[in-house]
Structure 1
Amino acid sequence: MTRPAPQAPNTAARRLVETLIVNGVDRVFCVPGESYLAVLDALADVRDRIQVITCRHEAGAANMAEAYGKLTGKPGVCMVTRGPGATHAAIGVHTAHQDSTPMLLFVGQIALKDRGRGAFQEVDYREVFGGLAKWATELESPARTVEIVERGIATALQGRRGPVVIALPEDLLEEDGGPPPARPVTPARAGLDPAVLAGIGVRLARAERPLLVVGGSGWTVEAAHALADWAERLGIPVSGSFRRKDLIANDRPNYAGDLGLGCNPKLIARARAADLVIAVGARLGENPTQGYTLFDRAHTAQVLVHLHPGPEELGRVWPTALAAVADNSLAAEALTTLQPGRTWDEGTAAHAEYLTFSTPVPVTGRVNLAECIAHLNTALPADAVITNGAGNFAAWLHRFYRHRACRTQLAPTSGAMGYGFPAAIGAKAVHPEREVVCVAGDGDFLMTAQELATAVQHALPVVVIVVDNGTYGTIRMHQETHYPGAPRVIATDLKNPDFVRYAEAFGAFGVRCETTGDFPAALEAARAAARGGTPALVHLIADAEDIAPGRTLTGLRGG
């Protein structure tokens, strides 16, 4: 058989890969497709610089890339084929958009000469992804490959971070790709306006009940620590926005908890009573503002200082007393220069409220998820990465797990089921030296459970705890609340496999756990397998009766 001749050194495909390398991309998550074979061939020559992780579904690949972007601050790169490949990957693009995560989705595309004919798997990606991505485009001139990819990287990283989609017509990829990249992209970052900083200083000195809310993406660990130190010295309560708990160590003496789903009622009361709210990076959307009920517009116009890298987020919902476009880390560093000449006692009181709220609660069944999650606090090292998707199981995780280090939480503010397990695999690829634990619901896990094959194939030994209560818990809870009566339950019951045997079928380790008391040993067995290089699964049998912390199905029915 005659082997195909190698590509010329300056094709569009090779220029694309060169641009990724120059910009520090060291991993690509993909499902291969014939529409971008030329790019795959170019990647074959740089295996020592870019690891290609082959996934079993485009949703898994996109979620891994999103997790990579969250952990590294660099764009996570996902490559998929046209049509169904791209639409499968749309879930990861949506999460990257909602979570402000830098990401590049490269989509193999039909030949440019066939566009508009309704060709096999033809999709207009500008139209499909226009509302999901920061920028969706298609390469139309191979000589502009470097320009388009560099613009994509800059767009993903500048302002409010987010996803970019670039379609690659297959007939252009082996044409002349134009000049090589000259240097890495250096994204522009806006500093905090000194006049705004001075205004914040005046308001802070007058405030009696200040509250600092941190959120968003693009933080450096150094800036997050510096802001936490500053707030701790002053005694200002600090809250994380929805699923941003890891920005401030939860054992800080002024940490107040997170503003999210199932929020501490005392934190809600504290936020409403605050006479100064400084929000850095947080968008203050639906979940952190409790369905837009946490504040009222007249109140925020007097007390809200909103600092955000995206100008479109300022004044989007809430009028402000002061607002400024600023990079999150630069804004945080500027705030630490303020010396209000006083301190507050609010931080200590707020932390005491958080500790009480995050103490395990009793349940009716044999497995107390609150106690199991609390055990993770003592069993796992501080730098362990914890991931989750969406479902009522996550309420137990977010309430009772206490993050002690930055970049240890991977959780979709988009509320995407199936996110946690591929995110864990992506995290292990980034940090092979750290423990990575995914907590997943049964319905949540089975949306991307086939990625066990990816974890085994690429030797990425994560641990996944599958909380199996035989139901889509969140929907079941709302169903019981709004349409009470067991005979009316429909579409939420689940018939699950034996997850231990499922894991073993892939070559992973599995252990079953049916009581709270057995959980520490089951977890340790799974961790030991992972330390030995084998992905591991804990099948944790829960009771749907304990539908949420402090809530039961019987109670929802008025029983």
Structure 2
Amino acid sequence: MHRTGGQLITDVLVQQGVDRIFGVPGESFLAVLDALVDTAQIEFIATKHEGAASFMADADGKLTGRPGIVLVTRGPGASNAYAGVHVAYQDSTPLIMMVGLIGRADEEREAFQEFDLKAIFGTQTKWTAVINDASRIPELLTRAFQVAVSGRPGPVVIGLPEDMLRDVVEAKTLPARVRPVQASPAASQVSEIATVLSKAKTPLVIVGGETWDEQSCDDLAKFASMWHLPVACSFRSQDRLSALHASYVGDAGLGINPALAKRIRDADVLLVLGARLGDCTTSGYTLLDVPVAQQKVLHVHPDANEIGRVYAPELGICSGMKQALQALVELDAPQVTETWVEWAQVARDDYLKWSTPNKTSHGPVNLAAVMEYLNENLPDDAILTNGAGNYTVWVHRFYKHRRYRTQVAPTSGTMGYGLPAAIAASLRHPDRLSICFAGDGCFQMTLQELATAQQFGARVIVILVNNGMYGTIRMHQEKTYPGRVSGTDIVNPDFGKLAEAYGIFTSKVEKTDQFSAAFDAVVASGKSGIIEVITDPEDLTPRFSLSELRASAK
């Protein structure tokens, strides 16, 4: 049997279990679009911007553990999609981006939209390649799946010259669906973890990263209970352990609880499972000394190259989280000391105090009270997404995740991510509530994707926090140049009319007690909706007001 390059692409995608592609149609891959006409197993989600397509693919990869797929054209299309590749790289998300390229005969002429794929993406992917021979599509595209899901997951970018996609070649047997390759800890390494922990007085666990699943999260919960260990989640990895679990002590990220930051500094042993120990998790590399920490660091990570990158560990173990937790949960727990038990209990008490919504705000809307309502009324499996901005501090501090994969957010701090991610979440799990948190600046980067949600039947609820400024940058501005505002004000459209134009539910909240009725109404409507929450610019974070920050900076 003979197949075109475009048909081989869809053949391999079906073989690898792909059911959805995100992208903006382009002339450079018309042969793939044509093949999709006869491929009922795959739905092409035509987004309104390539950046949003790559965000959706990243979110889909997070939710499934399989590569999210994005298909874009050369030059400007691929450049627009770069943001999602960067997110996937820093977040360790499996993602494959296929890029239609110019014809092979026109290379090195600066032909229409020609660009150097490997030069642009080479430093932000696990692998970047161009398939110049259609007969090698099964080999190289299958390899892309293997690379994306194995070890530390991440993005792969594959270039597809448009004339190659039209070539007709003999179809060969397709490789089987790939399975992730993950290392397992040696028995001696697990035994050493047990030995070091058993001698500790003030141990603490930090968890995060990828290669988790529900079973590994369950094993973490059991391991933490058996050993009476306090567990902190790294930045935007708060769904690895239920916030209701007695061992959960908060998130080590931006806006960290000062008590937790001190506890990380004071720990004598840090067991790090999957987290990269990047600057957000270590408060700008200040919670541990570089390169040799005062704490004994036991670092378990799926990528051997990540171990010792910044902090030289007492023990480094290359392992996937499923394999590591399966081994750890089988360890016999020691007879822990009274000091250890008290240490863990106080850490939990500190978290409960920190996460109890405060009642103070400078305006008529208190975001902490909004989060309290959502804690009490959202189902455990509701998926919360967000982009970047100070509004996220309220979500991370006060919302209590109870199940794995209910938090989908970029550790790379990317604005505009929340809405596309919520759309991908709704398409993947149409039976679950998909809640997007966005600031007014964040939302306007990708709000056009409301049309995508409507076209493809996604149902999302946007909680739009509107304070009329780029709040995070204003915060940094006031710290460094108090009272000298430049570039951080926003003049917003009428979001209600905008929602109506897209044919979705809309409501405005100007007082805290209006939120419950607005939220219940959008849920009851069965539609997507925007709940615009007007907040006071003074409320920069739950801890700092604008005027207080300005005064302290003088």
Equivalent of residue 79 in structure 1, options 63, 71, 79:
71
Kept in 2: contact 1:301–1:319 (CA 8 A)? no
TM-score normalised by length of structure 1: 0.96
Pick one of 99, 110, 113 that aligns with 1:118: 110
User: Is 1:165 matched up with 2:157?
Assistant: yes
What is the match of residue 523 of structure 2? 527
CA deviation after TM superposition for structure 1 residue 301, in Å: 6.8
Between the aligned partners of 1:252 and 1:426, the Cα distance in structure 2 is: 29
SS in 2 for 1:130: helix
| One-letter amino acid matched to 1:354 | Y
The residue identity in structure 2 corresponding to 1:315 is G
RMSD over aligned Cα atoms: 1.3
1:248 alignment partner, one of 215, 233, 241: 241
Which region of structure 1 is more displaced relative to structure 2, 128-137 or 333-342? 333-342
> Are the counterparts in 1 of residues 268 and 294 from structure 2 also a CA contact under 8 Å?
no
Unpaired stretches in structure 2, ≥5 consecutive residues: none
**How many residue pairs get matched?**
546
Q: Which residue of structure 2 lines up, in the alignment, with residue 484 of structure 1?
A: 482
In the TM superposition, 1:373-384 aligns within 5 A as 373-384=371-382
Task: Write out per-residue CA displacement over residues 39-86 of structure 1, whole angstroms, 9 at most, x where no aligned residue.
Answer: 111111112x11211111001110000000000000000011111100
Residue number among 10, 20, 36 corresponding to 2:3 in the alignment:
10
**8 A Cα contact 1:363 1:550, kept in partner:** no
Matched residue, 2:35: 42
**What secondary structure, in the 3-state scheme, does the structure 1 residue paired with 2:97 have?**
strand
Shift of 1:299: 5.5
SS of the residue 1:239 aligns to: strand
Alignment-derived partner of residue 4 in structure 1: none
Q: Which residue of 2 aligns with 1:5?
A: none
1:216 pairs with one of 190, 205, 209 = 209
Q: Distance in 2 between matches of 1:160 and 1:301?
A: 27
Residue 131 of structure 1: aligned partner = 123
**Superposition deviation, residue 36 in structure 1:** 0.4
- Distance in 2 of aligned mates of 1:205 and 1:234: 9
Report the residue type matching 1:194 in the other structure.
A
- Cα contact 2:206–2:275 (8 A) shared by 1: yes
What displacement does 1:187 show?
A: 2.6
Following superposition, the deviation at residue 258 of structure 1 comes to 0.6
Q: Does the 8 A contact of 1:420 with 1:439 survive in 2? A: yes
User: 1:18-33 residue pairs with structure 2 within 5 A?
Assistant: 18-33=11-26
- Correspondence 1:331-370 to 2 at 5 A: 331-343=324-336, 344-345=340-341, 346-361=343-358, 362-370=360-368
The equivalent of 2:274 in structure 1 is 281
Q: Is 1:232–1:347's contact at 8 Å kept on the other side of the alignment?
A: no
What whole-Å deviation, never above 9, does each CA across 1:237-287 have from its counterpart, x for those lacking one? 011011100011011011010100000111111111111111010000101
The alpha-carbon distance between structure 1 residues 300 and 27, as it changes in their structure 2 partners (threshold 3 A), is same
What is the one-letter code of the residue matched to 1:121? Q
Map of 1:461 onto structure 2: 459
Question: What secondary structure is seen at the aligned counterpart in 2 of 1:104?
Answer: strand
1:341 is displaced (CA, Å) by 2.2
Shift of 1:349: 2.1
| Alpha-carbon separation, structure 2, partners of 1:129 and 1:429 | 28
Structure 2 distance, partners of 1:483, 1:127, is 37
- For residues 186 and 247 of structure 1, what CA distance do their matches in structure 2 show? 22
Match of 2:313 among 298, 320, 326: 320
What percentage of aligned pairs have identical amino acids?
46
Which amino acid counterpart does residue 312 of structure 2 have in structure 1?
Answer: P
Gaps of at least 5 residues in structure 1 are 1-7
**How far 1:26 sits from its partner (Å)?**
1.1
Question: One-letter code of the match for 2:345?
Answer: T
| Amino acid of the structure 1 residue aligned with 2:237 | R
2:54 aligned partner: 62
For the residues of structure 1 that align with 2:31 and 2:173, how far apart are their CA atoms? 17
Q: Is the 8 Å Cα contact of residues 29 and 162 (structure 2) preserved in structure 1?
A: yes
Distance across 1 between alignment mates of 2:184 and 2:36: 37
Deviations 1:409-455 (A, max 9, x none): 01100100000110000011110000010010000000000000000
CA shift for structure 1 position 298: 6.9
- CA displacement at 1:291 relative to structure 2: 0.2
Among candidates 440, 444, 447, match of residue 446 of structure 1: 444
Paired position in structure 2 for 1:191: 184
For residues 180 and 301 of structure 1, do their structure 2 counterparts lie closer, same or farther at Cα, with a shift above 3 Å needed? farther
Instruction: Give secondary structure in 2 for the equivalent of 1:538.
Output: strand
| 1:15/1:180 contact within 8 Å kept | no
CA distance in 2, matches of 1:541, 1:200: 49
Q: CA deviation at 1:137?
A: 1.0
The CA deviation at 1:204 is 1.3
Moved more, 359-368 or 449-458: 359-368
Amino acid paired to 1:333? Q
Tell me the distance in 1 between the aligned counterparts of 2:499 and 2:335.
Answer: 57
> What residue in structure 1 maps to residue 221 of structure 2?
228
Task: Tell whether the 8 Å contact from 2:99 to 2:159 is kept in structure 1 after alignment.
Answer: yes
Equivalent residue number for residue 96 of structure 2: 104
Residues 487-526 of structure 1: pairs in structure 2 closer than 5 A: 488-526=484-522
Residues 398-409 of structure 1: pairs in structure 2 closer than 5 A: 398-409=396-407
* AA matched with 1:548: T
CA distance in 2, matches of 1:539, 1:292: 36
